[in-house]
Structure formats: structure tokens, C-alpha cells
């Protein structure tokens, strides 16, 4: 694969001395006398050498065996010849996939911490780095956060190279580019930027490079560390960077001209630019018939509105606009609320907070207990609250419909946005009624139209309006009706 390696510039780099004892002493000063850093001394004919590796990260057994099998090659030297031994090792003995030269302490440290082994010959001007990574990774499994009924089951893992391979397997295009860089002053985390040359907008790519270059972080332990640094500076509850655990979604985004950002140590891959419509699209939309996919997609937009506005509408109508309720239903609601000590807003607020607590508890508890606690807790608390006269049965129904609609959204982070804004809309509905809700929706629409994702308007396809994009926004037309297949998000 084509890889462009971009290194962070550091301060002055101290070159390796030629004396083996001086090198070992310098390494012990820099890395300390940690028990997991192993120094394995060997002889190459008349020359002395040492193999340095970190136990658990590297396994140089194959490397040592190859040197042992070729030991006769180094007996030809009657006196130490470090440079000849180094060349012979690199060209003949070490048949590993990755062998390179290092010439200073900074490079040696980086290679060791990456899981490689360093071979140093006494008197040689340089050392060799061999790819002997031995860190066990989680096997490719189902993407737990974005499950589908029909479609590929593979999900990303915590291994950066395995993740790039999963995408490369789906896009066998020589124009697929990978740019690697290291972020995190202390963690030195490998980050890969993937795009298809010719498909990607050069302006967006350059803007992303600039933001990554300006991202000064002490550590990068998950892709969200980078997400917060590259997202646009405007404060907004809406996510402007998309994340996915599915290789097929990442591959489709690349085919559409987007850019993916892969981070070592996490299965969640970032995709930019992210558009509002993208958070309502699922990979399964493209593995089903277009008419069914369109129906489900429209249903997701409806669920978004229900999850955002249902409690606010209920509070506004029962508090300010009782004349809008049919008489029979109004009598039923009045009968249910008889004896309820709280106003509608406080009633809804308490139920929503209770459900949020149960949701978080269900996530944190062990899997064998989490679902049981959340389901039983919701049923028991809801029924007990109605029986105790603290909340009305209608309010339990409203909160339940709202929660279920929230789960229908395919992207978890857009669901978080709805959960935040729901409380805001409830307060506005309790204070100003339907008039306040309408004004809030207008302000929310203006806010969405003002957002950008890496310089691209967030509401693209709607604002600005693009006719061609309507083939795959609110609905998905059949592939025959699409002039150009756009893939999925």
C-alpha cells in the first residue's frame, strides 16, 4: 500500500555513539532500568552485538534464530568489521517484513516503543530496527455499536494496521492514500489519514492537515481526543465529526470523497466532513430495497422530531393550550392529573431524569445484569410512580415514546444531542407555550445552517439546496435512478 509518513519535528537528536557499552549506558539513562527492557547479547563472528526489545511488545525469537542459522557467514571476518556485518544482516540474514536503519536515540526509542527490536553492533555508525511486534490484538468481530440485520459483520479493532487493511480490502484502488503522523507528546500515538486522490476536495484535505498539525496534545488514548481538536470552533450540541465502527461505512465515505482518520488503540474511526443527513443514514439502507430503505429513513427523521419535541408539546398544550385537546381526551387527562402534586414540567423533568439514570446504570452494570436492571427498574418505578400519584399515566406514555424514538436514531452521538436539547425544549414549552417552541425551532434551524464541518456547510443538500443530493438524503432512490452511485455513510 502507498504510505506517506509525516513525522513530528522534535528538538536536537543525539546520535548513537559507536561504542556498544556507551549506547547501553545511554539507553538505561533515557529509559531507566525497567525490568521489561531486555538486552540480549550475541556475537557476530569477531564482533559483539546486542538486541534490545521490550518484553510483551516485541518477540525477536525469529530474528535470533535467523542470526544463529547464518552464524557461519560472520566467521569469514578475521577481525571486527561492524559496517560489513551490518550490511550482511540487512541484505541476507534478516528476512523480516520490515528492517530499517536508526542513527539516534530518538529513533531507537520510537522503534522500541512501537514493538520493534533494535540490533546494535559494537563500532557500527548505525543500528538496525526489525519489525518484531508481538502485541496480541482483539480479533475482528461484529460492530457492536452499529449492528445491522443484513450486511457485513466485520468491525474495526484496536490495531491501526489491521484497520487500514480492512478498508484496503474493500477499496482496491491504487489512488487510495494513507498519511501517517504521530500525535500526543507522551503517548506518541500513530494516526492515519486515508483518502482517495481525485475524489477528495484538496481544500478540505489541506484544512484537515492544518488542524492536525496544530493539535498539541499530551496524550491521545481514543479518537475523541482528535475529534475535539479538529471540529469547528463554534459551540454546538450537534456533532460535526462522524464516527463509525464499520469498515464498509468508512469505505463508502472514502468513495464519496470524504476523509477517514484512524487512531491506534481504538476501533472508532472518524469521518470528515460530516453532514446532518449523514447521521440519519445507516449502512443497512444500501443492503435493502430502495423503497423500504426510504421508508425507514423517513421514519428516523420522524423519530428525531418525536424524541426532541414530544415532552415539550405535551407540557405546552396541557399548560397553556387546553383548548387544542379534544374534549374527551381533555377530561381523561384532567382525571389522571387529579391529585398530582407537581406541574407538568416538573413531572416530565423527574421522569426524564429517572430514565436517564436507569439508562446510564444499565450501561455501567455487567452485561448479565444491565438489561434486567434497566427494564425491570423502568417498569417498576413507572408503575409505582403512577400508583403513588406522583405522575400521571399519560406522562409515562410520553416519556416512554420519547425514549424509544431516541433509540431509533442510527448514530449514537446525534442521540446525545437530542437528549440535551429535549430538556431545553421542555423548559421553553413550560415558559412560553407553543409560541416559544416555534421560535426555538427557528433559532435551531438557523444554528444548524450556520455550522460547518471542516469548512463544508453542515446542512449541505438542504442549505445550500442541491438537487442531485436529494437522490440520497431524505429518501434513497434505486441504483438505476442514480446517475452516479454515491455509496453510504
Question: If residue 233 lies in a helix (H) or strand (E), which one and from where to where?
Answer: none
Q: Per-residue pLDDT for 4 more than 50?
A: no
pLDDT at 365 (0 to 100): 73
Residue 2 confidence class, pLDDT cut points 50, 70, 90:
very low
Q: Per-residue pLDDT for 55 more than 90?
A: no
Task: Please provide residue 127's backbone torsions phi and psi, each rounded to the nearest 5 degrees.
Answer: -120, 165
Nearest by Cα to 421 from 304, 270, 331, 295:
304
Residue 273 confidence class, pLDDT cut points 50, 70, 90:
very high
- CA distances for 489 relative to 66, 109, 216, 246, 394, angstroms: 47, 39, 29, 10, 37
Residue 303 confidence class, pLDDT cut points 50, 70, 90:
very high
Residue 70 confidence class, pLDDT cut points 50, 70, 90:
confident
Q: Write the pLDDT tens digit of every residue in 387-439.
A: 777 888 888 889 889 988 998 898 888 999 999 999 999 999 999 999 999 99
Residue 99 confidence class, pLDDT cut points 50, 70, 90:
confident
Kindly state the cell numbers that stand for 348. 416530565
50 within 8 A of 160, measured Cβ to Cβ:
no
- For residue 254, how many other CB atoms are within 10 A of its CB? 24
- For residue 148, how many other CB atoms are within 10 A of its CB? 18
Q: Per-residue pLDDT for 134 more than 80?
A: no
Q: Per-residue pLDDT for 1 more than 60?
A: no
Average pLDDT over residues 253-260: 93
Measure the CA–CA gap between 209 and 191, rounded to whole angstroms: 12
Kindly state the cell numbers that stand for 156. 474495526
Q: Is 108 exposed, middle or buried (0-12, 13-18, 19+ CB in 10 A)?
A: buried
Measure the CA–CA gap between 423 and 404, rounded to whole angstroms: 16
pLDDT at 339 (0 to 100): 75
| Cβ-based neighbours of 132, under 8 Å, separated by 6 or more | 53, 58, 59, 60, 62, 63, 96, 115, 116, 117
Q: Is 82 exposed, middle or buried (0-12, 13-18, 19+ CB in 10 A)?
A: buried
Please state, rounded to an integer, the average pLDDT across all residues of the chain: 85
Q: Per-residue pLDDT for 269 more than 80?
A: yes
164 within 8 A of 181, measured Cβ to Cβ:
no
pLDDT at 166 (0 to 100): 92
Buried b (16+ CB within 10 A) or exposed e, 351-383: bbebbeebbeebeeeeeeeeeeebeebbeebbe
Q: Per-residue pLDDT for 12 more than 60?
A: no
Measure the CA–CA gap between 253 and 249, rounded to whole angstroms: 6
Q: Per-residue pLDDT for 485 more than 60?
A: no
Of residues 204 and 45, the one with the higher pLDDT is 204
Q: Which residues pair with 128 in a beta bridge?
A: 101, 119
DSSP classification of residue 7: P
Question: Which range, 92-106, 116-130, 268-282, 345-359, has the best average confidence (pLDDT)?
Answer: 268-282
Q: Write the pLDDT tens digit of every residue in 388-400.
A: 778 888 888 898 8
355 within 8 A of 391, measured Cβ to Cβ:
no
- CA distances for 279 relative to 223, 301, 302, 446, 458, angstroms: 18, 10, 14, 19, 11
Question: Which range, 9-23, 145-159, 399-413, 414-428, has the best average confidence (pLDDT)?
Answer: 414-428
Q: Per-residue pLDDT for 464 more than 90?
A: no
Q: Per-residue pLDDT for 486 more than 60?
A: no
- For residue 337, how many other CB atoms are within 10 A of its CB? 19
Q: Per-residue pLDDT for 479 more than 60?
A: yes
Q: Determine which of 190-204, 296-310, 329-343 has the lowest per-residue pLDDT on average.
A: 329-343
Q: Per-residue pLDDT for 7 more than 50?
A: no
pLDDT at 487 (0 to 100): 44
Average pLDDT over residues 78-98: 79
Task: Report the SS3 class of residue 337.
Answer: helix
Domain ranges of the chain: 10-130, 160-274, 288-457
Q: Per-residue pLDDT for 334 more than 90?
A: no
Q: Per-residue pLDDT for 385 more than 80?
A: no
Question: If residue 37 lies in a helix (H) or strand (E), which one and from where to where?
Answer: strand 37-44
Nearest by Cα to 74 from 86, 85, 64:
85
Q: Write the pLDDT tens digit of every residue in 175-210.
A: 999 999 999 988 889 999 999 999 999 999 999 999
Buried b (16+ CB within 10 A) or exposed e, 158-177: ebbeebbebbbebbeeeebb
Sign of the dihedral defined by the CA atoms of residues 281, 286, 289, 290, in that order: positive
Q: Which residues pair with 180 in a beta bridge?
A: 5, 192
Residue 370 confidence class, pLDDT cut points 50, 70, 90:
low
Q: Determine which of 161-165, 229-233, 367-371, 437-441 has the lowest per-residue pLDDT on average.
A: 367-371
Q: Determine which of 128-132, 299-303, 467-471 has the lowest per-residue pLDDT on average.
A: 467-471
pLDDT at 402 (0 to 100): 92
For residue 194, is the peptide bond before it cis, meaning its omega torsion is within 30 degrees of 0? no
**DSSP string for residues in 238-293:** S-SSEEES-HHHHHHHHHTT-EEEEETT-SPEEEES--GGGGG--GGGGSS-HHHH
pLDDT at 483 (0 to 100): 59
pLDDT at 367 (0 to 100): 66
Residue 239 confidence class, pLDDT cut points 50, 70, 90:
very high
pLDDT at 279 (0 to 100): 93
Residue 373 confidence class, pLDDT cut points 50, 70, 90:
low
- CA distances for 134 relative to 57, 122, 129, angstroms: 5, 27, 15
Measure the CA–CA gap between 141 and 138, rounded to whole angstroms: 8
Q: Per-residue pLDDT for 212 more than 70?
A: yes
Q: Give, rounded to a whole angstrom, the gap between the first and last alpha carbons of the chain.
A: 24
Indicate the pairing of strand 3-5 with strand 176-183.
parallel
Amino acid at each position: 500500500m502507498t504510505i506517506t509518513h509525516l513525522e513530528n519535528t522534535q528538538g536536537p537528536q543525539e546520535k548513537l555513539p559507536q561504542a556498544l557499552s556507551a549506547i547501553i549506558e545511554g539507553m538505561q539513562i533515557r529509559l531507566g532500568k525497567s525490568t521489561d527492557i531486555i538486552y540480549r547479547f550475541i556475537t557476530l563472528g569477531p564482533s559483539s552485538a546486542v538486541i534490545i526489545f521490550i518484553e510483551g511488545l516485541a518477540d525477536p525469537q525469529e530474528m535470533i534464530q535467523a542470526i544463529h542459522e547464518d552464524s557461519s557467514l560472520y566467521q569469514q571476518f578475521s577481525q571486527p568489521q561492524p559496517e560489513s556485518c551490518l550490511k550482511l544482516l540487512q541484505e541476507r540474514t534478516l528476512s523480516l517484513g520490515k528492517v530499517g536503519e536508526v542513527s539516534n536515540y530518538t529513533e531507537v526509542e520510537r522503534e522500541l516503543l512501537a514493538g520493534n527490536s533494535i540490533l546494535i553492533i559494537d563500532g557500527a555508525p548505525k543500528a538496525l530496527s526489525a519489525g518484531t511486534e508481538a502485541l496480541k490484538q482483539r480479533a475482528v468481530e461484529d460492530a457492536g455499536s452499529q449492528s445491522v440485520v443484513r450486511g457485513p459483520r466485520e468491525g474495526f479493532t484496536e490495531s491501526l494496521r489491521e484497520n487500514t487493511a480492512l478498508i484496503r480490502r474493500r477499496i482496491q484502488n491504487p489512488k487510495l492514500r494513507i498519511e501517517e503522523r504521530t500525535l500526543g507528546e507522551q503517548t506518541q500515538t500513530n494516526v492515519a489519514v486515508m483518502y482517495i486522490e481525485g475524489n477528495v476536495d484538496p481544500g478540505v484535505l489541506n484544512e484537515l492537515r492544518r488542524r492536525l498539525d496544530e493539535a498539541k496534545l499530551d496524550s491521545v488514548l481514543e479518537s475523541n481526543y482528535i475529534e475535539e481538536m479538529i471540529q469547528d470552533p463554534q459551540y454546538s450540541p450537534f456533532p460535526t465529526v462522524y464516527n463509525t465502527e464499520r469498515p464498509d461505512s468508512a469505505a463508502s465515505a472514502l468513495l464519496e470523497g470524504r476523509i477517514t482518520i484512524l487512531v491506534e488503540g481504538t476501533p472508532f474511526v472518524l469521518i470528515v466532513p460530516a453532514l446532518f443527513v449523514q447521521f440519519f443514514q445507516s449502512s443497512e439502507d444500501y443492503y435493502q430495497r430502495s423503497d423500504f430503505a426510504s421508508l425507514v429513513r423517513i421514519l428516523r427523521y420522524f423519530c428525531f422530531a418525536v424524541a426532541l419535541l414530544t415532552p415539550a408539546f405535551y407540557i405546552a398544550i396541557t399548560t397553556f393550550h387546553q383548548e387544542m385537546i379534544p374534549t374527551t381526551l381533555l377530561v381523561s387527562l384532567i382525571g389522571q392529573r387529579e391529585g398530582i402534586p407537581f406541574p407538568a414540567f416538573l413531572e416530565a423533568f423527574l421522569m426524564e431524569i429517572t430514565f436517564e439514570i436507569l439508562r446510564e446504570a444499565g450501561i455501567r452494570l455487567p452485561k448479565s445484569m444491565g438489561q434486567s436492571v434497566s427494564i425491570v427498574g423502568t417498569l417498576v418505578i413507572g408503575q409505582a410512580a403512577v400508583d403513588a400519584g406522583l405522575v400521571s399515566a399519560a406522562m409515562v406514555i410520553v416519556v416512554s415514546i420519547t425514549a424509544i424514538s431516541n433509540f431509533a436514531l442510527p448514530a449514537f452521538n446525534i442521540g446525545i444531542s437530542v437528549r440535551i436539547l429535549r430538556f431545553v425544549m421542555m423548559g421553553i414549552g413550560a415558559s412560553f407555550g407553543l409560541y416559544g417552541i416555534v421560535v426555538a425551532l427557528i433559532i435551531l434551524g438557523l444554528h444548524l445552517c450556520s455550522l460547518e464541518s471542516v469548512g463544508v456547510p453542515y446542512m449541505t443538500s438542504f442549505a445550500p439546496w442541491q438537487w442531485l443530493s436529494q437522490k440520497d438524503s431524505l429518501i434513497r432512490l434505486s441504483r438505476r435512478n442514480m446517475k452516479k452511485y454515491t455509496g453510504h455513510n
